[in-house]
Amino acid sequence: MFKRILGAGLGWSLGGPIGGLIGWWLAGKLDQSSQPRVGRQQTTHSDFIFSMLILASKVMKADNRITVKEIEYVKEFLLQHFQIEEVQEMMMFLRDIEKKEYSLEEVCDQINQCMLTEEKNQLLHFLFGLSNSDGQSHSLEIDILSRIAVLLKIPSHVFHSMRNLYGNQEHDIVHYYRVLDIPQSASNEEIKKAFREISLQNHPDKVAHLGENIRKSAEEKFKIINEAYQKIKKSRGF
């Protein structure tokens, strides 16, 4: 079943550090018949999922404890994309990869070479959701998320916008400014510019090729960003 997922289109992750981690796991579970592909190819659904699982293991281990809610969060996400038998295999992969040390820099470097900005943003969205799955992000988890964002070359204002998006703030006007990562003293033009930039970075159409569920997830985040902008516009009357 797991090999079927691999065959469904690991366009680039069979090479490099991500491919090495998958190959290491497969060597202990299955015959390793897949070969690395050469050249830049479009990120596939499988590329995204395996990159996500590898980065998720770093976030889950950041505070030296892995909670049931974190595991359930990952499993629920996978169940939206795969059959239960496939999800069980992927959860085994996650469990085993948690025990293995690997270079976050090398993994992120491979992702940078192969993923578009919008795809990387969706990875970070998932990781923020994972960090907040037990109700509150630990400071060590925020540290590793910040490091991942830097390594993935995600702009700081996009990172801070995501962090505020997953926070526990009341949905008041202060929260809406935080979602756009702008001060309340910003001019109307600065607000419009911030909204345009964050919208482009998180537009669901940019990740539609990764699958309908990932597109829907991106759409939900996009709606929150748009809501924040509309609330600020209304409060300012422009």
Q: Are 14 and 36 in contact (CB under 8 A)?
A: yes
Rg from Cα positions in the chain:
18
pTM of the model: 0.81
Per-residue confidence (pLDDT) for residue 85, from 0 to 100: 85
How far is it, in rounded angstroms, from Cα 146 to Cα 154? Answer: 9
Give the CA angle between residues 170, 172, 177 to the nearest 5°.
110
| Locus of tokens 């070969």 | 35
How far is it, in rounded angstroms, from Cα 93 to Cα 4? Answer: 15
List the chain domain ranges: 1-115
How does the average pLDDT of the chain come out, rounded? 84
**32-74 pLDDT tens trace:** 444 444 444 678 888 888 899 999 999 999 988 899 999 999 9
For residue 107, which amino acid is it? V
**46-56 pLDDT tens trace:** 888 889 999 99
